[in-house]
Amino acid sequence: MGELDAAVVVDFPLRGEWLAQNSPATRIPSHGTDLLGQRYAFDLLRVDERPGVNVHPGGRLRSMLFGVRSRDCYGWGQAVHAVFDGKVETAVDGVAERGWIHPVRELAGVLWTALTFDPAKGFASVAGNHVIIRGGDLFAAYAHLVPGSLAVHAGQSVRVGDVIGRVGHSGNSTAPHLHFQLMDGPDPLTAAGVPCSFRAYEVLRDGEWRYVTESIPTSTELIRWAA
């Protein structure tokens, strides 16, 4: 029995078209580490139809030379939705995000944070603005949200599909995206990751959108939410 065979089924946390750049369907651990409960975590980016991973309309040369504004990225500001009914365990807001993205600087920052991470600084030093929601024995973490966008507070009950915040570029992020993971505890510093699949979504294959259920997208599949 593979690790993903017992994946918990949850709703997809976004609307529109997305790429799971880091996915446990492609490799485990999906982020190269079990730390911070992210063994089965996803990084979900909004991209366009050009070859490669293009998160904004600017050309690659311009991006490398000058960078782009965070808010010009396709994913920035997109609504993030609760994947199950539950209660908000943690809601951290007020972490500043970088308003301008330069690929080399962002990658260097991520590598530096990974090498020098200090648990004493807490999860927010990596996750930025984030929400953790408890549903029974499971905890869902949504990270890198736009400062000031959180629509929930600790102790609040939420229903599946409720908007809890918006995709941003706070914390240890190379571009606006949603980092999403399930855990077996409320504290990412001590929790273990839990595998999950998405209840229903569409995947673009051979030029056609195909409906799939209870599945896990790979890092090369363009997907979108389906009711």
* Structure tokens given for 153: 């507070």
Q: What CA–CA distance (Å, rounded) separates 139 from 131?
A: 10
Determine whether 14 is exposed, middle or buried from the number of CB atoms within 10 Å of its CB (0-12, 13-18, 19+).
buried
The more confidently predicted of residues 69 and 190 is 190
pLDDT in tens, 61-72: 666 667 788 999
Which residue ranges make up each domain of the chain? Answer: 3-225
- Tell me the pLDDT band of 113, cut-offs 50, 70 and 90: low
Residue range 3-225 forms a domain whose CATH class is: mainly beta
Across residues 203-214, what is the average pLDDT? 95
Residue 132 has pLDDT above 60, yes or no: yes
Buried b (16+ CB within 10 A) or exposed e, 124-143: bebbbbbbbbbbeebbbbbb
pLDDT of 76: 97
Q: What CA–CA distance (Å, rounded) separates 198 from 130?
A: 21
The more confidently predicted of residues 3 and 61 is 3
Q: What CA–CA distance (Å, rounded) separates 73 from 47?
A: 9
pTM for this one? 0.93
- Tell me the pLDDT band of 213, cut-offs 50, 70 and 90: very high
Element at 116 (helix H, strand E): helix 103-116
